[in-house]
A and B are shown apart, each in its own frame.
Chain A
Amino acid sequence: MSRASLFVPLGIFISILALGYVGFSLDARNQLPSALLNKPFPEFSATSLLQPDVKITKAELLGRPVLVNVWATWCPTCKSEHEQLMRIAAETDVLMVGVDYKDIPERAVQWLEQYGNPYDYVLDDRDGSLGIELGVYGAPETFLLNAAGEVVYKRVGDINVRIWENELLPRFQALDIKLHEQSGVDR
């Protein structure tokens, strides 16, 4: 037995350590990849939260890029990302759609009055059925759709400045979404 082969067990041990290190440092451990990625956004028909007699369907979302944000008043993380959503709404031309997920409509209306409404459409999904169509398992979750209505990006968790700069902004640019430069400088 050669001397070098004595180090084989040590090598195996180190590779197990490395595997564990990599495995446990993947921060996406509890984030599932969306089954919808690169697929068309599902057909739906939902009631508008602010105009309960109006139905909104997928047809309203076609023709330009859309940011679909799943939120609720019971979700503290949604509160923390709200300011960033307001900035995105003010600084870009993207169509913003909010899905009010498993929520009490009155509370949601009050929330939007109190903190501001970044959304062009707010869908009332009080029983969570639209959420199931979207593969939502918590809030907040955010989808970016291209003009053809295909999901090009999904984020599970809050939209913060880091996510905006590193993940959303490059995709907004790729989709030719207009940015208003004036306010874009001083976020």
Chain B
Amino acid sequence: MSPQTPFPRDIPLPLPAPEPLLIVLLVIAFLAHLLFVNLMLGGSLLTVFYEWRGLRKPAYDELAHEIAKTVTVNKSLAVVLGVAPLLLINVLYTIYFYTANSLTGLAWIMLIPTITLAFVLTYLHKYSWEAMRHHKRLHLGIGICASGLFLLIPFVFLANATLMLFPDRWFSIQGFLSALSVPSVLPRYFHFLLASLGVSGLALVGYFRREQYDFEAHLPGLNRQEILKQGYTLTLGASCLQFLAGPLVMVTLPSHGFSAAMLGSIGLGILAALPALWLIWKELQSPLPGKRFIQIGGLLSLTVLLMVSGRHLYRETALASHKHQMQIRTASYERQVQTAAAEAKAAEAAEASLPLPELGAKTFQQNCAGCHAAQTKLVGPPMTEMVKIYGSKPADFKAWVQSPGKKRPDYPQMPAFPQLSEKQLEGLAVYVLNSKH
């Protein structure tokens, strides 16, 4: 940790459940969210790609339309499944997460209108498919805009996720753009983008290999085997590129988060991916691809689970020491809070036993002096006027303080003081009404 590293105090309320349970929930919920984010982004890119190919070979236009219909469903699921990981991150990494949000604040809040706009464009793209059949390039333009926004959004999330890991870099951050320059952000972005493409390629195979899907009726002019191979090719290509992106992420991450468990988890993930890639290769050679889909999907799911776990283990190790320091400081501060609160309570008790005029003077200083002075008008009238009105009627005076009305048109109305005790009111009446100023 650098000397500039802040060690803020945590919120002194207990976690709502044992930490390991929350962590397991986080990993699972995050995985589900990520799956649909990948499908949404990859699906959007595939839609645009096939619609573009459809300009030359119209049969692809219908394929693009079919994929577009899945994107709007996946985007709804991506959002709703994102809420649970958000909640879990909030509760498990309160200090780290909110600090990262704040340091990238404008970009963070701009996510809301940006994602909304991306969704509106995605609906527009899908629902205007028939109506804009004769304005194909404009229609494709809408799709490209939506995809472009989908491509920008992950930068903000990744900047936040990365900042969370490095309290020792917080002092160097001035806004979202400078957060992008934290070394591992860009490699993580490419890692994520390739994952989206890989998942979407596989989803393409899964969607069109189904027996009950009447391929020829839906997509005349296209060949099922060829489309399946295109999906597999995308997954294979993207996964092979991960062998570049993955190490790039590893070398840009600071070393203090590495652990044997984390490396083991990542290593097992790679091991699970290798047979999957080999099976994809076999599928590409086969005249009837699609039979090995379940095995491939299973192996790659295992890879993703291990990778996400590895990512979590890195975060735990990277933050362990900082978290510990934070807990010690939180405990120490809370003890000081308790001691001071006890002292204040004792002082209050002592104050209650003061003689009435002194108690009244003190109460006046603490509650009234902001607006009332002895002889001059501040916000409200001076004490001399109070003596004139209430000099012989202390009960009326106390009633007024507890719940004042509006008497003078040229003065603002006085607020009520229900918090004053009977003793304080008594003292106040003695002090104010006996004042000879």
Do these two chains really belong together in a complex?
no
| Chain A positions near chain B (C-beta within 8 angstroms) | none
| Chain B positions near chain A (C-beta within 8 angstroms) | none
